[in-house]
Amino acid sequence: MAIEEKNAQGGIHGRKIELLIRDDENSPEVAGKRVHELAALGVEAIIGPNVSSIAGGMLPAIVETSIVTISPTVSSLFFVGKDDPFFRMNSSTRQNAGAYAANHYAKGGRRVSAAFGIQNRLFTESWLKEFQTAFEALGGAVVATAPYDAKGADGYAAVVAPLLAVNPDAILLVSNGVDTAQIAQQFRKAGSNIKLIAAEWAASEQLIELGGKAVEGVTILQTYDRDSVVPAYTQFRDTYIGQFTNRPGYSSIASYDAAMVLFAALERSYAEKGLSLKEAIFAVVPVKGLQQDLTFDRFGDGARKKFFVTVKNGTFVGE
């Protein structure tokens, strides 16, 4: 969408932007290969990936080909503080998990059990570790953790029961929206009414659609304000709905923001000879995003605003 808009405005210095889409097939190895393929095609920049494990697979190729890559969503600490052509729009796991810990502690939470998905383990484990560190620093405790495999043969029962057994005041779910919805269903099915907290990764419409009543009351962090009335955002949202019929999720917003940063940088690097795209990015930030100013520290790590929401009657409602 961002590219269509930009090209409609005449592209960058008269050059149209061409979008090449490559499927990482949800495999880190494939993703790494794709980077090399794109490099061979002469692409100037990559937007993506959305998942930390895939980013891990791409990073060596990115460093090798030095193609500037902007991930709208990746937040794993693994990528934080590295001087490479890999830029992240999102806050780091540490920042987000820290915010979660503070939020829950402030509500009186002290004992937390956690379930984490093993599909994107690099992310989920590190996230949980960050949460634990922050939460324990505050005085809370993570009393039990359990990995679960959404595609595995074992049922969720093996996860649900032990986590509930240690008498926590909340269950922390660290996985994507679909998995979070499914495991939430299992907690409710087990008859528990316990407070559920979902890591920001799950903050999608799918969580509500698939979670149904099971996800009612789930607290989750969003990196954008659903109810924002900033014109840039509302206009984007309406166009998005017009095109895709549903509301833009946080990855769509972040992707759009990433494209904004990239275009500004490309424009600058075309205008200024000898300026690499990476240097151009540092030169153009902060760039106005849909809801916030977009900027990076010297390692190319960004940060998003944080909004805690709760699911109420099938929608996210700000706290």
Partner 1 sequence: MIFRRERRLRTSLIFLLASTTLVTLAIVGTGILVVRLPQIVTANQTLVDRAAEETASRIEVFLKGLEERVALVAQTAYDVPDARVGSMLDAARGDAFEALYLVNKVGTVVAISVGNVSAKRSREMVGIDLSNSKLVRAVAEKKNVVWSDKFLSAVTGIVTIGVAIPIERFGGVVIAELPLATLLKISHIARGAEGLEFWIIDGHGEVVADTGLPSASGFNLRNNPVVKAGLAQNPVAERMTFKSREYQSAASFSRALGWLFVSRIPAGLENRRIRETVGLILIAFIASPLIGLILAPFWARGMTEALAPVIQRARMIASGAPPGAWPRGNVVEFNQLTSDLEAMSKSLQQRQLELRDLNEGLEARVEQRTQDLAIANDELTETLSTLNRAQGELVHSEKMAALGRLVAGVAHELNTPIGIGRMAVSTMRDAVFQLEKRMKTGLRKSDLTNTIEHLLSGSDMAEKNMIRAADLISSFKQVAVDRTTSNRRRFQLLEIVDEIILTLTPIIKQKSIRVDREIPKDIILESYPGDLGQVLTNLIDNAIKHGFDKRDNGVIRISAAPLSKNVIRLTISDDGHGMTKGVIDKIFDPFFTTKRGCGGTGLGMHVTYNAVVSILGGAITVSSTPDEGSVFQIDLPLIGPNRNIA
* Site of interaction with partner 1 (CB under 8 A): 21, 23, 25, 150-151, 153-157, 178-179, 181-182, 185-186, 188-189, 206, 208-214, 243-245, 314
Q: Give the span between the Cα atoms of 172 and 132, in whole angstroms.
A: 11
Residue 226 identity: R
188 vs 237 by CB, closer to partner 1? 188
The tokens 């540092």 sit on which residue?
282
Q: Rounded to the nearest whole angstrom, what is the least distance from the CB of residue 212 to partner 1 in the complex?
A: 3
Q: Rounded to the nearest whole angstrom, what is the least distance from the CB of residue 19 to partner 1 in the complex?
A: 10
35 vs 214 by CB, closer to partner 1? 214
| Burial (Cβ within 10 Å: 0-12, 13-18, ≥19) of residue 313 | exposed
E strands of the chain, at which residues?
Answer: 45-47, 68-71, 86-88, 111-117, 141-148, 170-174, 195-198, 219-222, 287-288, 293-294, 307-312, 315-318
- Cβ neighbours of 170 (radius 10 Å): 19
176 vs 292 by CB, closer to partner 1? 176
92 vs 180 by CB, closer to partner 1? 180
| Secondary structure in 3-state letters for 120-168 | CHHHHHHHHHHHHHHHHHHCCEEEEEEEECCCCCCCCHHHHHHHHHCCC
60 vs 314 by CB, closer to partner 1? 314
Q: Rounded to the nearest whole angstrom, what is the least distance from the CB of residue 213 to partner 1 in the complex?
A: 4
Q: Rounded to the nearest whole angstrom, what is the least distance from the CB of residue 148 to partner 1 in the complex?
A: 11
Residue 165 in tokens: 């057994």
9 vs 245 by CB, closer to partner 1? 245
Degrees to nearest 5, angle at CA 256 with 19 and 217 = 130
Q: What Rg do the C-alpha atoms of the chain give, in angstroms?
A: 20
Does an H or E element contain 21, and which? none
Q: Rounded to the nearest whole angstrom, what is the least distance from the CB of residue 27 to partner 1 in the complex?
A: 12
Q: Rounded to the nearest whole angstrom, what is the least distance from the CB of residue 195 to partner 1 in the complex?
A: 18
